[in-house]
Structure 1
């Protein structure tokens, strides 16, 4: 290395903004330029659509199609959205979401039912696609606009009258940026199944038009939400009997969000506790999972002491309650905070106490209503804790 000093000043800094920054460093926005990043691109569009469909209501449907020419089409019948805030001018509608990063929300409730890796709306998918077509049905009129690598090819054009409302976003990932533009049907189907579990009543369909032998399709809808999720996880262990699922939903303003929890104890020795924040897996856990364990341990201890069971002076350890336990802990927060760059460890400190309190209350009530089953569960946990 040369002994010459290297100076870093304003002249040596390359300032990139907007779509140029996204296209220059696509991995910063979707994680990679490989298959994982390609799927993240799809998840961002689907996540935006699901959030829009679920705004202020439960249920709704989203249809995703992998087209024969390598594109992805995401359609919904959600609330009306104009291209712009004031007719065809202004900047608050779909056109603004396609051409700029969304401004930070202020005030009110802004829970994202599905949180993508980066909260960028449709801006990043548009910038990283060689072509994107946006269609809206609004005010009785169908309007369409096309983009090329994030730049509008023309103004939104009215193409005729229409009934109902909704959007269709069709995009073709840019082969100049991604190592592959062929999405995996299996990967997308598993992710959409998970999102459907975590958003009760939402229907998501995935159709693949690419196979030479004809299209294939799957559709997911789970009326009981995370209760269905826990039942499905339990079935994977080879359980032969209908599961006895305990579940509840609760909103707590102290954590500015909601929680949905479901759990069961089975004959298996395996523990399967999964945490999610805004429908995204937190594989490293976090405060919501810690609070869940706290709540279960507190409910077990209270039940044991009320009935004179040998619980000892201390509660069973929260990390030792999982023998045979299957659970899903899903929280949806206005302002989730994560520890680390991977967004897989939830850090909101207030969430732990809120979830723990709610689990203790609801599980304790279930113990009271099901004394025979409760005695079996509590005795099993206490025996496991003493053995350890």
Structure 2
């Protein structure tokens, strides 16, 4: 059978998303359903982090199968006349058409601008989708904007506006509320898992220090259930929680630091702890999304830890013949979180779980070596305890 341009079906915009929803959210099953929610929550988190240090996002699973996401981020108008409008970490230019460059544009057009900024929490396979894909894949969506002391609301059906934005009364609050009902004709299930969402929101709160995220489930017959997360120490709290799941601290302090490096156009937040005797556990994240296969940020972390431990041991004459400690010895009992936020992340493979930015490895390695080395100098007793334990570990131990 032959193929030609005549047989190619070209789909764009809303039509393309509804025709092949799995291409935009990973699947039409529960995974894709949750990704729709994550896209909206990621958009709200980005706004909150851009506007204030201790903002919050509230997610509610409603009685009628909907998902409501409310934030207290900076005021966003439905429309903006001329110029540019910045949201979700990107800058969008007005085109003079209906909807201008405000929230309406984010709901009805696929953003073409590059995502920038250092507070990116987006976790979707489609990094530029914003609110467009969730809107198109919802049988109904309502957007509420609290701007200039007034509530304005607009409703959509399958990505198409039902009416123009309308005033819905005064308000002293600010922020946005996006309520959506995933389209049952496109998804195998429209019932979100409370446990899956709660675990992901907990992770996002760990990775974005000071951010508040709450999840309320109104669906149980016995009454609503709710959880909320806010971690003032960010990834340090994350490492402490991971370690508490498996054992007792060797040292009461989690070692951690934050660092910005223009060479990689981004920031890093790293925390680590040696505790007990078990296999190494290093968790990597890029723009608040798990990189389960690792990548250059995780490689750089291991380089930096090895360099700091080796330098400390050599300075104190603890290495026979000048040999460096074996990597498996250094990682024994080590729990760590390596979180980088990059203006332009590059991934290897379609799953976006392996970071490939080459410059990141050297930047992270250098920063880890410097900060861990300083901690060793400031905490000589604990440093000696950690390094002695690494060097005394028997050869070939698993």
Shared fold, TM over 0.5: yes
Partner of 2:306: 297
Partner of 2:343: 334
Partner of 1:80: 75
SS of 2:33's equivalent in the other structure is: helix
1:34 to 29, 32, 44: 29
The answer on 1:112 being equivalent to 2:120 is yes
Q: For the residues of structure 2 that align with 1:42 and 1:311, how far apart are their CA atoms?
A: 55
Displacement of 1:266: 0.7
2:2 to 4, 7, 11: 7
Q: Once structures 1 and 2 are overlaid, which stretch shifts more, 116-125 or 317-326?
A: 317-326
CA pair 16-369 structure 1, distance change in 2 beyond 3 A: same
The answer on 1:374 being equivalent to 2:369 is no
Partner of 1:70: 65
SS of 1:55's equivalent in the other structure is: helix
Partner of 1:355: 364
| CA-to-aligned-CA distance 1:18-64 (integer Å, 9 cap, x gap) | 11100111110110011111111110110011001101542210000
Structure 1: any 5+ residue segments left out of the alignment?
A: 1-5
Q: TM-score, normalised by structure 1?
A: 0.94
SS of 1:159's equivalent in the other structure is: strand
Q: For the residues of structure 1 that align with 2:6 and 2:351, how far apart are their CA atoms?
A: 32
CA pair 187-231 structure 1, distance change in 2 beyond 3 A: same
Q: For the residues of structure 2 that align with 1:241 and 1:17, how far apart are their CA atoms?
A: 56
The answer (yes or no) to whether the contact 1:62–1:204 under 8 Å persists in 2 is yes
Displacement of 1:373: 1.1
- Matching of residues 194-209 of structure 1 within 5 Å: 194-209=203-218
Q: For the residues of structure 2 that align with 1:294 and 1:41, how far apart are their CA atoms?
A: 37
The answer (yes or no) to whether the contact 1:305–1:311 under 8 Å persists in 2 is no
Displacement of 1:320: 4.4
Displacement of 1:387: 4.7
| CA-to-aligned-CA distance 1:327-380 (integer Å, 9 cap, x gap) | 100000001111001111010000000000000000001101111111121122
The answer on 1:346 being equivalent to 2:341 is no
1:97 to 103, 106, 110: 106
| CA-to-aligned-CA distance 1:58-86 (integer Å, 9 cap, x gap) | 22100000000000000011100011112
CA pair 86-49 structure 1, distance change in 2 beyond 3 A: same
Q: For the residues of structure 2 that align with 1:338 and 1:350, how far apart are their CA atoms?
A: 13
The answer (yes or no) to whether the contact 1:243–1:264 under 8 Å persists in 2 is no
Q: TM-score, normalised by structure 2?
A: 0.92
Q: For the residues of structure 1 that align with 2:344 and 2:394, how far apart are their CA atoms?
A: 36
- Matching of residues 1-388 of structure 1 within 5 Å: 6-55=1-50, 57-86=52-81, 89-105=98-114, 109=117, 111-119=119-127, 120-239=129-248, 243-310=252-319, 312-318=321-327, 320-384=329-393, 387=396
Q: For the residues of structure 2 that align with 1:241 and 1:207, how far apart are their CA atoms?
A: 37
The answer (yes or no) to whether the contact 2:25–2:124 under 8 Å persists in 1 is no
Q: For the residues of structure 2 that align with 1:203 and 1:109, how far apart are their CA atoms?
A: 20
The answer (yes or no) to whether the contact 1:202–1:221 under 8 Å persists in 2 is yes
CA pair 311-211 structure 1, distance change in 2 beyond 3 A: farther
CA pair 197-312 structure 1, distance change in 2 beyond 3 A: farther
Count of residue correspondences: 382
SS of 2:331's equivalent in the other structure is: coil
Partner of 1:3: none
The answer (yes or no) to whether the contact 1:73–1:170 under 8 Å persists in 2 is yes
